[in-house]
């Protein structure tokens, strides 16, 4: 068997920034540091940060008044921001800047009197946060069928934004349905799908043409990892989403000679290497790196945290 590694794969700039924020906060403020929700959707990352002294909570009521609390990369609603203020928590916001951009866009549309339609999955933390950041009329759709069932107060005054980690193809279909249903609708096109999501989907699509099986390393609750599996399957290849090498089943490997591996934006490279080692033990004789784009995007850490840690910002590349 031969292995093919998608390029790019794994950590994106938003995930790197979120993890760095927790690690730096632990260093500067000392444990315990509270984190609202999983900082990124990966159990291995969360377990590692827990060992360093991070305490993950699902409710701000579990954070002692006056403590440091970090909001996860997925972003939070206005109600959570208000609750943190009311409890006098010292907030560090690890929301990915690309998610914040969607929040701001949604708020702008809403302030201009538009009903805002979020294209995304209603149960996903990012969408919950985006929905809760918009004060006016807001709806969520995840399929063209749901577009057909929508009821809005003024069909002539409708705007949309999209979750950052959707499949480009699915999003295109939903936006087409929205434009048919509401000819005057305004929105950013596919621009809200983030660069990391786009690059990883393009890479897995290219790789899927070359292989018999695709393994996506990522968490079951990771939206972008699930979409990578969908994209591989839409290319006609069997694909599995695995948290780590321990989930690989020997029966998947019978009658395959070329296996492709990719990883979601919140999956550490060490997990990919664990999968490579596991497959070498099962008879893989060669590992190839696919060609693909090289990413250089880096997001700045929050200024207050850098200042608190007395770390000069000058050495760090700026936002792309
Ligand atoms: Fe930000 Fe995109 Fe990474 Fe999500 S996948 S954290 S939007 S860079």
- Span 237-249, average pLDDT: 98
**Confidence at residue 312, expressed as pLDDT on a 0 to 100 scale:** 44
**Confidence at residue 320, expressed as pLDDT on a 0 to 100 scale:** 39
Q: Give the count of beta carbons closer than 10 Å to the beta carbon of residue 191.
A: 12
- Judge if the beta carbon of residue 15 lies within 6 A of ligand 1: yes
| d(C-alpha 39, C-alpha 46), whole Å | 7
* Ligand 1 closest atom vs CA 265: 5
Which residue numbers are catalytic?
126
Looking at the predicted structure, is the pLDDT value of residue 318 above 70? no
Q: What's the length of the chain?
A: 320
**Confidence at residue 319, expressed as pLDDT on a 0 to 100 scale:** 43
Give pLDDT tens digits for 178-237. 999 999 999 998 888 899 999 999 999 999 999 999 999 999 999 999 999 999 999 999
CB 309 within 8 A of CB 28: yes
Let me know the angle formed at the C-alpha of 17 by 172 and 46, rounded to the nearest 5 degrees.
95
| d(C-alpha 307, C-alpha 187), whole Å | 37
Q: Ligand 1 pocket test: pick from 8, 11, 13, 14 the residue with the most ligand atoms within 8 Å of its Cβ.
A: 14
CB 265 within 8 A of CB 227: no
Give pLDDT tens digits for 76-133. 999 999 999 999 999 999 999 999 999 999 999 999 999 999 999 999 999 999 999 9
Look-up of token digits 């315990």 = 32
- Span 45-58, average pLDDT: 97
| d(C-alpha 246, C-alpha 68), whole Å | 35
Looking at the predicted structure, is the pLDDT value of residue 161 above 50? yes
Sign of CA dihedral 251, 252, 255, 259: negative
Sign of CA dihedral 298, 303, 304, 305: positive
Tell which residue, 126, 130, 185, 122, has the closest CA to residue 152. Answer: 185
- Judge if the beta carbon of residue 201 lies within 6 A of ligand 1: no
| d(C-alpha 9, C-alpha 298), whole Å | 16
**Confidence at residue 191, expressed as pLDDT on a 0 to 100 scale:** 81
pTM for the complete prediction?
0.94
- Judge if the beta carbon of residue 10 lies within 6 A of ligand 1: no
With cut-offs at 50, 70 and 90, classify the pLDDT of residue 311. low
Looking at the predicted structure, is the pLDDT value of residue 31 above 50? yes
Q: Which helix (H) or strand (E) is 25 found in, with range?
A: helix 13-29
Residue bearing the CA closest to ligand 1, atom 2: 194
Return mean pLDDT, the chain: 94
Let me know the angle formed at the C-alpha of 222 by 159 and 39, rounded to the nearest 5 degrees.
95
CA of 62 to the centre of ligand 1 (A): 27
* Greater pLDDT, 227 or 304: 227
| d(C-alpha 66, C-alpha 84), whole Å | 10
Q: In a 3-state reduction of DSSP, which class is residue 73?
A: coil
CA of 258 to the centre of ligand 1 (A): 29
Q: Ligand 1 pocket test: pick from 196, 203, 222 the residue with the most ligand atoms within 8 Å of its Cβ.
A: 196
**Confidence at residue 313, expressed as pLDDT on a 0 to 100 scale:** 46
- Span 61-72, average pLDDT: 96
Residue bearing the CA closest to ligand 1, atom 6: 14
**Confidence at residue 304, expressed as pLDDT on a 0 to 100 scale:** 87
């Amino acid at each position: 068997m031969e292995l093919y590694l998608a390029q790019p794969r794994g950590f994106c700039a938003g995930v790197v920034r979120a993890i760095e924020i927790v690690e730096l906060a632990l260093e500067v403020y000392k444990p315990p540091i509270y984190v609202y929700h999983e900082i990124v959707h990966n159990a291995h990352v969360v377990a590692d940060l827990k060992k360093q002294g991070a305490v993950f909570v699902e409710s701000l009521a579990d954070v002692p008044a006056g403590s440091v609390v970090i909001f996860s990369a997925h972003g939070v609603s206005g109600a959570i921001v208000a609750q943190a203020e009311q409890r006098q928590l010292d907030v560090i916001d690890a929301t990915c800047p690309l998610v914040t951009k969607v929040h701001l866009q949604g708020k702008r549309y809403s302030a201009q009197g538009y009903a805002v339609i979020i294209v995304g999955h209603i149960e996903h933390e990012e969408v919950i946060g985006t929905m809760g950041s918009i004060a006016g009329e807001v709806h969520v759709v995840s399929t063209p069928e749901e577009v057909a069932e929508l009821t809005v107060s003024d069909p002539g005054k409708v705007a949309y934004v999209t979750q950052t980690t959707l499949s480009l193809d699915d999003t295109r279909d939903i936006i087409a349905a929205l434009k048919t249903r509401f000819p005057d609708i305004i929105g950013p096109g596919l621009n809200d799908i983030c660069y990391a999501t786009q690059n990883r989907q393009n890479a897995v699509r290219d790789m899927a043409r070359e292989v018999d099986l695709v393994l996506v390393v990522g968490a079951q609750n990771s939206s972008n990892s699930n979409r990578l599996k969908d994209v591989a399957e839409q290319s006609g290849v069997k694909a599995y989403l695995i948290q780590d090498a321990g989930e690989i089943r020997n029966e998947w490997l019978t009658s395959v000679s070329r296996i492709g591996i990719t990883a979601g934006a919140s999956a550490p490279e060490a997990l990919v290497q664990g999968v490579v080692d596991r497959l070498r033990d099962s008879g893989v004789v060669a590992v190839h790196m696919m060609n693909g784009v090289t990413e250089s995007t880096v997001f700045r850490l929050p200024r207050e945290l850098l200042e608190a840690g007395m770390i000069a910002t000058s050495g760090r590349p700026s936002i792309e």
